[in-house]
Amino acid sequence: MSREPEPRVVFGFHAVLARLRADPKSVLEIFLDETRNDARVRDLITVAERSGVRLMRVPTKRLDGFYGGGRHQGVVARVALKSLGQTLDDVLEGVEQPLVLVLDGVTDPHNVGACLRVANAAGAHAVVAPKDRAAGITPAVSKVASGAAEATPYLMVTNLARTLRELKEREVWIVGADERAPQSLYNADLPPAIAWVLGAEGEGMRRLTRENCDLLVRIPMAGQVQSLNVSVSAGICLFESVRRREAHRRLSDS
């Protein structure tokens, strides 16, 4: 019998408000700094009361205890985790044209959080990362993700190369973003079912990961910088897929 996942801590006004507005039933309780009474606090109290969420005023030291003195901004919430699917098979079951983001070696929590946020915005079905070379879902990741960490499946797999091969068996193309690729993202023939693979800025993908890609493309760089933050690159690639899907849909409807 599967156990219910432990509640997660979300901190910071933006992240807590985003969760309250998106899924108030998942917010178990909110702890608010008893010394604050500014406009952001009043807005949070109003939303919490409207949603029927328990809110408690507590000393700052108690909030520090939730996150080791981190920058919680005076608000911490305990939230229940949704069951988002335990495996890639669970997540993609019945999906005709999967859109997946694969992160290879992205260990910075802020980058992972930002990637989850952009993946959620683009409607990606899942974010996949190797267990041994990735940041897990931490309070810092949740804060940056602004609700996406609890809404978009983040699957940490034991063997990334095997997972890529399993995606191929589903007729999902594995497309890697590589600054050394000869073909531009905008000139490439991109299939509708796609898994975008990105490595950490500077390091890129591992050799085996690159070898499992069906196609490598580069993001054209017109300025002086040579590389982009991984979350920015992820956004460009994912939304290029979204743009092409929309264009194809309009063409089919006309």
Specify whether 52 is located in the same domain as 93: no
Nearest to 117 by CA among 228, 5, 238: 238
Specify whether 179 is located in the same domain as 142: yes
pLDDT at 252 over 50: yes
Q: Total domain count for the chain? A: 2
pLDDT at 249 over 90: no
- pLDDT at position 70 is 53
- pLDDT at position 69 is 47
Mean pLDDT of the chain: 87
Structure confidence by residue, pLDDT tens digits, 92-108: 988 989 999 999 999 99
Specify whether 124 is located in the same domain as 179: yes
Residue 254's pLDDT band (cuts 50, 70, 90): low
Segment (H or E) for 178? none
How buried is 61 (Cβ within 10 angstroms: 0-12 exposed, 13-18 middle, 19+ buried)?
exposed
Question: What type of residue is 183?
Answer: Q
pLDDT at 67 over 70: no
End-of-domain residue from the set 54, 79, 104: 79
Nearest to 74 by CA among 111, 49, 45: 45
- pLDDT at position 181 is 94
Structure confidence by residue, pLDDT tens digits, 176-201: 999 989 999 999 999 999 999 999 87
- pLDDT at position 231 is 95
Specify whether 140 is located in the same domain as 224: yes
Distances in Å between the alpha carbon of 212 and those of 2, 40, 160, 208, 245?
Answer: 33, 48, 10, 6, 24
Residue 159 to residue 162: CA distance in whole angstroms: 5
3 found inside a domain: no
Specify whether 106 is located in the same domain as 220: yes
Structure confidence by residue, pLDDT tens digits, 9-63: 778 888 788 888 877 888 899 999 888 888 989 999 999 999 999 999 998 888 8
- pLDDT at position 143 is 74
CATH number (domain holding residue 59): 3.30.1330.30
Percent of the chain with pLDDT over 70: 92
1 found inside a domain: no
Burial 87-104 (b: 16+ CB within 10 A, else e): ebeebbeeeeebbbbbbb
Residue 83's pLDDT band (cuts 50, 70, 90): low
Specify whether 63 is located in the same domain as 138: no
Is 0.95 surpassed by the pTM of this model? no
| Structural domain that includes position 209 | 88-253
- pLDDT at position 81 is 67
pLDDT at 85 over 80: no
